[in-house]
Structure 1
Amino acid sequence: MEKKQKMTCEQVREIDMVSYLAKLGYEPAKIRGNDYWYYSPFRDEGTPSFKVNRRINRWYDFGEGKGGSLIDFGIKYNNSTIGEFLALVANDEFPVTKFIQPSNSKEKEAPKIEVLEVKDLTAPGLLTYISKRRIPISIAKQFLKEVTYTNGGKTFYALGFQTDAGGYELRSAHFKGSSSPKFFTHVKNSFDTLCVFEGFMDFLSFITIMKASDMPIDFDFLILNSLSFVTVSIEQMKNYSNVHLYLDNNEPGDRNTEEIKSLIPGAEDKRSLFENYEDINAFLCRPGYSTKLK
């Protein structure tokens, strides 16, 4: 097999970021002139805070205060070195093209995600993906659906986690998004303790850890699906005697944990469960850990 020539940093910087994000499965939530706004590929959120300026071909994540070129994005997104990312792009044979959008482009909204079908989870590709996240198939099928949807005129399918407003959080190996209406998900089991998570993957990881340890799951659950729903979900939290917080181990997680604790007397920060890991799923996927659950 012919060895593919490694791309240079300058060549990779010339790749159109909007096209590259589309190849990964990310479509803009809105377009305003040269600015393409996305829900951040790095976290769950309710308001798009990740912007690509297509005129200069650079991105900026307002949620983290970081940005840069496609190389900076690729290193962070793939958790790789510069060399590893350059090799990844070369092997993917992504066209080296740069698009400069005219400065007088009219503002327009990107196509919305439209759900076509919701059914039980059976697609091999989705089952493989959830297994790689160390979530047993039995647990995945209990809480997730297989959702077929359109995005930008094309049809896709993804794991779907329903919100209390009727929308779906959508995940696959190459896509992270949601259908309207986006909202939190409250799983009620009639217990006095509420466990709060940022996203459904952490919720499923918690269930997996508890079942693997043969521990009783005597909790209700609140999956925010975005930290933007912390404020509106406070009233749900106030209905519980105990509130356990499992937000991410990062600055937004720290800030929102402290905000909830200031509003809910007795709310407890339980992130010691996955100390030294950014979230519960990263803890579950750590090297050397496995369960016998299927």
Structure 2
Amino acid sequence: MNCKQLNSIGLEEVLVFLGHLPTRQNEKEAWYLSPFGPESNASFKVDRPKNLWYLFSQGTGGTTTDFIQKYFNISVKGALEWASKQNFSSFHQQAKPLKSHPNYHIDRIMDIAHPNLISYLYERGLSGKVYPFIKELWFTIENKQLYAVGFKNNSEGWELRNAFYKGALHKKDITVLSFPKETESVSNNKTQKNTTNQKIAVFEGFTDALSFIEMQKSFEGDLLVLNSTAMLQKALALLDSYFEISLFLDNDPAGRECARKILKAYPHAKDFSHVYSDHKDLNEYLIAKKKHHSHVTINTPTTTTAKNEHIEKQNECREETNRIKKRVRRRM
């Protein structure tokens, strides 16, 4: 993918993928609350025919490439790499005119039950231990019903994942929750700091937070999930009241930049990305760790047993051969 191809991707599709919905729209333009920070009046405009954006509150704008760079605070190369990993329909169907914002609605919210989602979580190294922190969401987009693992944020929005889909519904925001899980439902993710917790662990995405939960045995404190690096400024304000801050951000330019800014604001914070330095993020590290553990605990004993059985059979053969030889000598 190059910049020309990236700029052909519809801005509206990128925005809905990131969980941003227009406040008003017509055939020529769509208006949004700023995707880069909180505001009360929509000042972010998308020019539909030209596929360009302009943020009046900051006096800046540009192409799809420019938007992704600013949203994730990454380079052009980083923007191209990020977009190439997504499955934007407007890139694969460039001859089609830009569509208006698709209609969507949430149909059901329930505990994790679908076998495909359980399998997806298992492939990500996640067990039933993390189920209290997530939900199974059934939702409809453009008359297509989908289901995904849902992770709720502090503004009642949802991060959504399954084996073939990555997206968000409603407003984008951070998520703050307690670990071990408190007695209330996951739908009551805290919007305010629990003053009884002095520790907090910070993650970029919710699969990393779930990986942390999967691996932890003794941590008690809050978990903060950015859900987007664009939420960093909001997170920085919340971190002020914590005495112990642990960072588990991605090992990529955006993640390292987030860690740098947090460490600059809070020098007592500790960056633990070195623990999984050979992997992109904490979830990738967990997957690799579980695969290695599986090899050691399952394959090795099986191999050892097979070898022992083979040795026993060899010994039995030798003993039987010796008995036959002794009988032959006696007859001679």
**What SS does the corresponding residue of 1:238 show, helix, strand or coil?**
helix
Once residues 118 and 271 of structure 1 are traced to their aligned partners in structure 2, the CA distance between those partners, rounded to angstroms, is: 34
**What SS does the corresponding residue of 1:286 show, helix, strand or coil?**
helix
Question: What percent of counterpart residues are identical?
Answer: 25
Name which of 122, 126, 134 aligns with 1:135: 126
Name which of 116, 123, 138 aligns with 2:107: 116
**Count of equivalent residues:** 229
Name which of 162, 165, 172 aligns with 1:182: 172
User: Is contact 2:19–2:169 with CA below 8 Å preserved after alignment?
Assistant: no
The verdict on how the C-alpha distance between 1:74 and 1:179 changes in structure 2, with shifts beyond 3 A counting, is closer
Name which of 93, 100, 114 aligns with 2:95: 100
Name which of 113, 130, 155 aligns with 1:165: 155
The verdict on how the C-alpha distance between 1:36 and 1:129 changes in structure 2, with shifts beyond 3 A counting, is farther
User: Over alpha carbons, which structure has the higher Rg?
Assistant: 2
Summarize deviations over 1:269-293 as a string: whole Å, max 9, x none.
Answer: 111221111100111111743479x
**Paired residue type of 2:199:** T
Unaligned runs of 5+ in 2: 21-29, 31-45, 54-61, 87-91, 180-195, 298-332
Length-normalised TM-score, structure 1: 0.65
The verdict on how the C-alpha distance between 1:284 and 1:161 changes in structure 2, with shifts beyond 3 A counting, is same
**Structure-to-structure mapping, 1:1-294, within 5 angstroms:** 32-33=48-49, 35=51, 51=64, 62=69, 63=72, 64-66=74-76, 77=85, 99-101=94-96, 109-111=100-102, 113-136=104-127, 138-188=128-178, 190-210=196-216, 215-286=217-288, 288-290=291-293
**What SS does the corresponding residue of 1:225 show, helix, strand or coil?**
coil
Unaligned runs of 5+ in 1: 1-12, 38-48, 53-58, 79-96
Greater helix fraction, Structure 1 or Structure 2: 2
**What SS does the corresponding residue of 1:243 show, helix, strand or coil?**
strand
Cα drift, residue 98 of structure 1:
5.9
The verdict on how the C-alpha distance between 1:261 and 1:208 changes in structure 2, with shifts beyond 3 A counting, is same
The verdict on how the C-alpha distance between 1:200 and 1:36 changes in structure 2, with shifts beyond 3 A counting, is farther
Cα drift, residue 34 of structure 1:
5.8
Cα drift, residue 101 of structure 1:
4.6
**What SS does the corresponding residue of 2:284 show, helix, strand or coil?**
helix
Length-normalised TM-score, structure 2: 0.59
Once residues 243 and 220 of structure 2 are traced to their aligned partners in structure 1, the CA distance between those partners, rounded to angstroms, is: 13
The verdict on how the C-alpha distance between 1:282 and 1:119 changes in structure 2, with shifts beyond 3 A counting, is same
The verdict on how the C-alpha distance between 1:50 and 1:208 changes in structure 2, with shifts beyond 3 A counting, is farther
